[in-house]
Amino acid sequence: MNRHDESAAPLNPEDFVLYAGWFKALADPMRIRLLNLLATERRPMSVGEIVDRLPIGQSTVSHHLKVLADVRFVLRERSGTSTSYEVNANCLACFPAAVRAILGQP
């Protein structure tokens, strides 16, 4: 996520593709729940910690984290054999601006 101020320019074809990917990644209720967990915790969490907090198994959590990481909603940090995940802070400003741009609002 590195889109600049959305009110500065009209959307272009690359924007449409990027934003569609973001919404596709959010099109699953469990991914929204997972993203909310990471956002409210405000710290990196391991897959094990996330599994302990959600009613789904490790492989499903890992799949959802991959989808969210692919569109950079979450960032992963590897440390030895473990990986932790946290919300990409740029999402906090970038995603709402993208929604406003899609709706034609400044």
State yes or no: pLDDT of 5 exceeds 60.
no
Proportion of the chain above pLDDT 70, given as a percent? 92
Q: Return left, alpha or beta for 51; rule: phi > 0 is left, psi -120 to 50 is alpha, else beta.
A: alpha
The pLDDT tens digits of the residues spanning 45-60 come to 999 999 999 999 999 9
The pLDDT tens digits of the residues spanning 16-47 come to 999 999 999 999 999 999 999 999 999 999 99
Give the pLDDT score at 4. 47
41-44, long-range: CB < 8 A, 24+ apart: 42/87, 43/86, 44/77, 44/84, 44/85, 44/86
Give the pLDDT score at 82. 86
The 3-state DSSP class for residue 85 equals strand
Give the pLDDT score at 48. 93
Which amino acid appears at position 24 of this protein? K
The structural domains of the chain, ordered by start, are 12-102 (1.10.10.10)
State yes or no: pLDDT of 1 exceeds 70.
no
Q: Are 89 and 1 in contact (CB under 8 A)?
A: no
The 3-state DSSP class for residue 37 equals helix
